[in-house]
Protein backbone atom coordinates (compact mmCIF):
# COMPACT_ATOMS: atom_id res chain seq x y z
CA UNK A 1 0.00 0.00 0.00
CA UNK A 2 1.26 3.46 -0.92
CA UNK A 3 1.48 5.94 1.94
CA UNK A 4 2.20 9.68 1.75
CA UNK A 5 5.90 8.87 2.29
CA UNK A 6 6.03 6.13 -0.37
CA UNK A 7 6.06 7.23 -4.02
CA UNK A 8 3.51 5.72 -6.36
CA UNK A 9 4.71 3.53 -9.22
CA UNK A 10 3.13 6.02 -11.66
CA UNK A 11 2.82 9.74 -11.10
CA UNK A 12 -0.52 9.74 -12.93
CA UNK A 13 -2.79 7.02 -14.23
CA UNK A 14 -5.57 7.76 -16.73
CA UNK A 15 -8.38 5.26 -17.27
CA UNK A 16 -10.75 5.35 -20.24
CA UNK A 17 -14.08 3.61 -19.90
CA UNK A 18 -14.46 1.45 -23.02
CA UNK A 19 -17.46 -0.51 -21.78
CA UNK A 20 -20.08 -1.70 -24.29
CA UNK A 21 -23.69 -2.03 -23.10
CA UNK A 22 -26.35 -4.12 -24.80
CA UNK A 23 -29.75 -2.96 -25.98
CA UNK A 24 -28.82 0.56 -27.02
CA UNK A 25 -28.08 1.71 -23.48
CA UNK A 26 -25.77 4.71 -23.09
CA UNK A 27 -22.14 3.62 -23.00
CA UNK A 28 -18.69 4.98 -23.68
CA UNK A 29 -17.84 2.36 -26.33
CA UNK A 30 -20.53 3.74 -28.63
CA UNK A 31 -18.93 7.19 -28.34
CA UNK A 32 -15.50 6.34 -29.77
CA UNK A 33 -13.86 5.62 -26.41
CA UNK A 34 -11.43 3.12 -27.95
CA UNK A 35 -10.18 5.75 -30.42
CA UNK A 36 -9.78 8.28 -27.59
CA UNK A 37 -7.79 5.74 -25.53
CA UNK A 38 -5.51 4.95 -28.48
CA UNK A 39 -5.03 8.65 -29.25
CA UNK A 40 -4.18 9.45 -25.63
CA UNK A 41 -1.67 6.62 -25.46
CA UNK A 42 -0.04 7.74 -28.73
CA UNK A 43 0.15 11.36 -27.56
CA UNK A 44 1.61 10.37 -24.18
CA UNK A 45 4.17 8.16 -25.91
CA UNK A 46 5.13 10.89 -28.39
CA UNK A 47 5.73 13.27 -25.47
CA UNK A 48 7.86 10.71 -23.61
CA UNK A 49 5.38 10.52 -20.72
CA UNK A 50 4.91 6.75 -20.46
CA UNK A 51 6.59 4.49 -17.94
CA UNK A 52 7.34 4.02 -14.26
CA UNK A 53 7.40 7.29 -12.36
CA UNK A 54 5.46 8.96 -15.14
CA UNK A 55 2.10 8.16 -16.76
CA UNK A 56 0.12 5.01 -17.49
CA UNK A 57 -2.81 5.03 -19.98
CA UNK A 58 -5.34 2.21 -19.49
CA UNK A 59 -8.69 0.96 -20.69
CA UNK A 60 -11.29 0.26 -18.03
CA UNK A 61 -14.58 -1.52 -17.85
CA UNK A 62 -17.65 0.38 -16.76
CA UNK A 63 -16.84 3.30 -14.47
CA UNK A 64 -20.57 3.70 -13.70
CA UNK A 65 -20.88 7.27 -14.97
CA UNK A 66 -22.47 6.41 -18.31
CA UNK A 67 -24.73 9.48 -18.47
CA UNK A 68 -21.64 11.69 -18.72
CA UNK A 69 -19.86 9.58 -21.29
CA UNK A 70 -17.48 9.21 -22.74
CA UNK A 71 -15.56 9.23 -19.48
CA UNK A 72 -11.91 9.21 -18.43
CA UNK A 73 -10.51 9.58 -14.92
CA UNK A 74 -7.02 10.64 -13.83
CA UNK A 75 -5.51 9.36 -10.59
CA UNK A 76 -4.17 10.05 -8.03
CA UNK A 77 -6.17 13.28 -8.25
CA UNK A 78 -9.46 11.44 -9.04
CA UNK A 79 -10.35 13.99 -11.70
CA UNK A 80 -13.24 12.85 -13.92
CA UNK A 81 -13.39 14.10 -17.51
CA UNK A 82 -16.10 14.04 -20.16
CA UNK A 83 -14.54 14.56 -23.58
CA UNK A 84 -16.06 15.16 -26.99
CA UNK A 85 -13.28 14.68 -29.50
CA UNK A 86 -9.57 14.06 -29.92
CA UNK A 87 -8.79 17.76 -29.41
CA UNK A 88 -10.16 17.36 -25.87
CA UNK A 89 -7.82 14.41 -25.35
CA UNK A 90 -4.89 16.53 -26.59
CA UNK A 91 -5.82 19.18 -24.02
CA UNK A 92 -6.02 16.63 -21.19
CA UNK A 93 -2.58 15.28 -22.15
CA UNK A 94 -0.98 18.72 -22.50
CA UNK A 95 -2.53 20.30 -19.43
CA UNK A 96 -3.16 17.54 -16.91
CA UNK A 97 -0.73 14.77 -17.76
CA UNK A 98 2.17 17.06 -18.63
CA UNK A 99 1.59 20.09 -16.38
CA UNK A 100 -0.68 18.79 -13.63
CA UNK A 101 -3.37 21.39 -14.38
CA UNK A 102 -7.00 20.27 -14.36
CA UNK A 103 -8.93 21.06 -17.57
CA UNK A 104 -11.92 22.70 -15.89
CA UNK A 105 -14.12 22.88 -19.01
CA UNK A 106 -14.00 19.09 -19.42
CA UNK A 107 -14.86 18.12 -15.84
CA UNK A 108 -17.72 15.68 -15.44
CA UNK A 109 -20.40 17.19 -13.17
CA UNK A 110 -20.17 15.50 -9.75
CA UNK A 111 -23.81 14.35 -9.76
CA UNK A 112 -23.60 12.49 -13.11
CA UNK A 113 -23.88 8.75 -12.71
CA UNK A 114 -25.28 5.91 -14.70
Enter the pTM of the model: 0.89
Q: According to the 3-state scheme, what is the secondary structure of 14-61?
A: EEEECCCCCCCCCCCHHHCHHHHHHHHHHHHHHCCCECCCCEEEEEEC
Q: Rounded to an integer, what distance in angstroms lies between the CA atom of residue 24 and that of residue 42?
A: 30
Q: Is residue 113 part of a domain?
A: no
Phi/psi for 36 (5° steps) reads -65, -45
For residue 60, being part of any structural domain is answered with yes
Cis peptide before 76 (omega within 30 of 0): yes
pLDDT in tens, 60-78: 999 999 888 899 999 999 9
Each residue's pLDDT tens digit, 39-49: 999 999 999 99
The verdict on residue 4 lying in a domain is no
Q: Is residue 1 part of a domain?
A: no
Tens-digit pLDDT profile for residues 7-47: 679 999 999 999 998 887 778 998 999 999 999 999 999 99
* 114, part of any domain: no
Give backbone dihedrals phi and psi of 75, rounded to 5 degrees, phi first: -115, 150
Q: What is the CATH number of the domain that holds 72?
A: 3.40.30.10
Count of the separate structural domains present in the chain: 1
Q: Is residue 94 one of the residues assigned to a domain?
A: yes
Domain range for residue 21?
Answer: 12-106
Residue 111 counted as domain residue: no
Q: Is the peptide bond before 70 cis (omega within 30 degrees of 0)?
A: yes
Amino acid sequence: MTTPNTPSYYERHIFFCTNQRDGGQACCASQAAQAAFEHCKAQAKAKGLLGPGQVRVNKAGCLDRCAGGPIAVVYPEAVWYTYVDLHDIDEIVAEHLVNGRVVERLLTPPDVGR
